[in-house]
Homo-oligomer: A and B are copies of this chain.
Amino acid sequence: MPERSKAVKDVLAKFAKIRKKYTSPQVVTEFLFLLILGIIMALLSFAMDYTIEKCQKAHYWLFLELRDSAVLQYFTWVVFPLIFILFSIGFVHIVSPQAIGSGIPEMKTIMRGVVLHEYLTFRVLVAKMVGLTSAIGSRLPIGKEGPFVHIASIVATLMNKLVLPFSTASENEYSLHEMFGAACAVGVACNFAAPIGGVLFSIEVTATYFAVRNYWRGFFSAVCGAFAFRLLAVWNAKEETITALFKTNFRVEFPYDLQELIAFVAIGIFSGFAGALFVYVHRKIVEFFKRKPNIFKNMKMKYFIQPIAVSILMSTLTYPNGLGQLMAGELTPKEKLDTLFDNETWAKLGYIDESNVVVDSQEGWKHPTVNIFATLVIFIVTHFLMSALAITLPIPCGIFMPVFLIGAAFGRLVGEAMASLYPDGFHSGEKIYRIVPGGYAVVGAASLSGAVTHTISTSVIVFELTGQISHILPVMIAVLIANAIAQWLQPSIYDSIILIKN
């Protein structure tokens, strides 16, 4: 047909090319690769969460069982985590010292083209998995998100070696680098069941330039991972259906008043400074131990004396019959986050919305004589220092989760203060909309973790984690402010670690 325009021919030619590309065996392999990667990571993440929860529960169960003897009770509370930490240190040291630390700084280096030898092997995988499980099982304030980025990259590398015989070398070299992007995304996504946040976070922390055509890989893999991860929870009868990991139940018809934005901005500003301070304190701790080379050349000191001292100190601080009462010591980090995001007003001891069925979850935070504000402040200060200290230990450890938790507690503190100052909220209409302190906790968590890691995508993670997006603008504003301040004052924690290690 001569009247058929050339443009349309072009379109059709392009489209034929795309179709050819799509139906090539390589693409099918790639889809399968990403799917299986997602499922494997979900299984690993779920299995690890399960084991960690059992360890933490066993710890608390032992504590309760021994309530007749105060000495024995204290002794087990301290020794139990100590064994776990020493096992983690020993295991990682013997199997593969490469597994120490978060993994995100190293992945960032690898994504920039630097070759780190022996960093993505099966040995490292085993060391990281076992070491991490036992370290978090000890209730140390560390997370599993950074290590999971590392673990996902190892799994992708190992899977790639299996696929290698079926494809040519040059194709493979090319796709391996693309796979790392997807692997980092799936690593984050499997942790928080946050596919979108996972993709964005992994781009922000590992990449400098980013090809849009690779975007779908990360998404596809992350969705498979997050989906499988939540599906496992349903199959284990923990959940009735697929929902968010830390589901919140805030009021959606009037989430916050405009005047509350001032408080949200304040959270952002404070989080920015606190995030920079966290990076600074962490570096100072590392520097302090480096400054005493005569002591620290000593293996015993690095691998035994320091960890033992840190572990005993932390266990003593969080001991539920002692100071732990003032910082919700009996709760696991997961329970702490659940309660911080809840839908009550602790200070007023009342529910925000009577129609929402909520359980009285402040038990862990309540103290007969000390009020909730003091508890929260003590928790924030001690955990700020403990987290900065814990991530300097020679174990696999994530930085995101402890910072996220501190941020949530800080947000909660501001929210409770607001709720006490303005018990009936700001709204001037007929209906009274009380202040939702849980919403402040969400804003605080996103902005402090955003400040420490220099990422904006923590805001997306927080929506996916809570299953609610009603506080989108406060969260975004606070995260942007916190980022601006933290970036002005300090490098990100990951860059700081890269620079220290170099």
Contacts and interface: CB of A to CB of B under 8 A. Distances in A.
B254 A240 contact: yes
A405 interface: no
A8 interface: yes
A499 B242 contact: no
B467 A467 contact: no
Nearest to A249: B252
A148 to B, nearest CB: 19
Interface residues of A, number: 84
A11 to B, nearest CB: 4
A434 to B, nearest CB: 13
Contacts of A208: 211-213
Interface in A478-501: 480, 483-484, 487-491, 495-496, 499-501
Interface stretch (A55-63, A214-222, A322-330, A332-340): A214-222
Given A209-B210, A216-B480, A243-B255, A15 B490 contact: yes
Interface in A251-310: 252-258, 283, 287, 290-291, 293
B355 A195 contact: no
A477 interface: yes
A19 B489 contact: yes
A213 to B, nearest CB: 7
A49 interface: no
Q: In the complex this chain forms, how many copies of it are found?
A: 2
A4 interface: yes
A239 to B, nearest CB: 10
A219 B204 CA distance: 13
Interface stretch (A40-48, A311-319, A455-463): A455-463
A472 interface: yes
Given A7-B500, A467-B469, A502-B7, A18 B488 contact: yes
Given A220-B480, A470-B243, A496 B257 contact: no
A219 B476 contact: yes
Interface in A317-366: 355
A258 B241 contact: yes
A258 B252 CA distance: 25
Contact of A252 (B10, B247, B254): B247
A472 B464 contact: yes
Contacts of A204: 212, 215
A14 interface: yes
Interface stretch (A98-106, A166-174, A223-231, A407-415): A223-231
A207 interface: yes
A473 B241 contact: no
Contacts of A290: 3, 5
B489 A252 contact: no
A355 B253 CA distance: 14
A234 interface: yes
A288 to B, nearest CB: 11
B207 A209 contact: no
Q: Which 4 A-B pairs have the closest CB atoms?
A: A11-B499, A22-B488, A469-B469, A223-B476
10 contacts: A7-B499, A14-B495, A196-B459, A200-B200, A208-B211, A230-B473, A243-B252, A243-B253, A243-B470, A467-B469
